[in-house]
Amino acid sequence: MESEAIIYRAFVETPVGTIKIEATDRAILSLVFVSERGPAFKNALCEKACEALREYFSGKRKTFDLPLEKASSSFAEKVYAETKKIPFDETMSYGAIARAIGSPGSARAVGAALSKNPHMIAVPCHRVVYKDGSVGHYAGGDEKKQALLAFERGVS
């Protein structure tokens, strides 16, 4: 990120909680769940992300094409890219993602990368589960992960 970039902020209410959006003029920096709203200072990318999230929660959108800030490591970037391929209302295990990115045996590292995912919903880490099919954890809160999976089952 450029050191002089202005960071814009918006908030969108969803059925599972408030999401804070932060962006520069060139990329979405984060889409994260927050417990409280703060002051908003929106730009066009914040508005685009708000609209995309509203469409997702209304059942009209199943994928995201937002310009997201790159991950902090090449491993995380590979994990996020693979996670974005998981279809709406489907899940994939941490181990399957590790194998898909050419790092078999790194399921825990995949989980660690996803725990730092700054782009909730757009990088659908809520669709990543344990190999036995149990839901696992979610940086946005385990109850939100269960609610998102239930929402997608109800829409598809």
Q: Residue 125 catalytic?
A: yes
Q: What secondary structure does DSSP assign to 40-86, as a single string?
A: -B--HHHHHHHHHHHHHHTTS-SS----BPPPSSHHHHHHHHHHHTS
Active-site choice (46, 49, 66, 125): 125
Give the number of residues written for the chain: 156
Closest among 110, 109, 111, 125 to 68, alpha carbons compared: 125
Dist. CA 23–CA 5, nearest whole Å: 9
99 by DSSP, 3-state: which? helix
* CA gap 110, 72 in Å, rounded: 14
- The answer to whether the beta carbons of residues 65 and 27 sit under 8 Å apart is no
The residues that are catalytic are 125
